[in-house]
Amino acid sequence: MESLVVLMGTRNTVTMGDLPAEFVSSITMGESISTDSGTILTALEGAERDTVKSTINTRRGNLTQAAEKLGIAKSTLYQKIKEYGLAQEVANARAGLSS
């Protein structure tokens, strides 16, 4: 997902061509992700949340470094932390605790 964020740049739309092959094949084969746009969006949000969480942990809570690694503005990272309820993850990463 980190690559997807970087590759998209300033575009606001994700197309099937932007997704990893294994993700697309799981959609087309009907494995756990339906082609309903709401379900796909939920799956994408979950993947994004996991990527943000992982990056925060690997950067030990340094949000400047995490935003740079994700290829997003620090303000966008703050929005995603709020949106996905990751404030405790940030605190834990800074304290050297990972979940």
Chain segment 42-93, per-residue pLDDT in tens: 778 888 999 999 999 999 999 999 999 999 999 999 999 999 999 999 999 9
Average pLDDT, integer, range 9-22? 67
- Alpha helix stretches (DSSP H) within 1-99: 2-8, 21-28, 37-58, 63-70, 74-83, 87-94
Residue 11 has pLDDT above 80, yes or no: no
Angle (nearest 5°) at CA 73 between 23 and 65: 85
Domain residue ranges of the chain, discontinuous segments joined by +: 2-94
pLDDT, tens digit (0-9, with 9 covering 90-100), for 24-46: 665 544 444 444 555 565 778 88
Length in residues, the chain: 99
pTM as predicted: 0.63
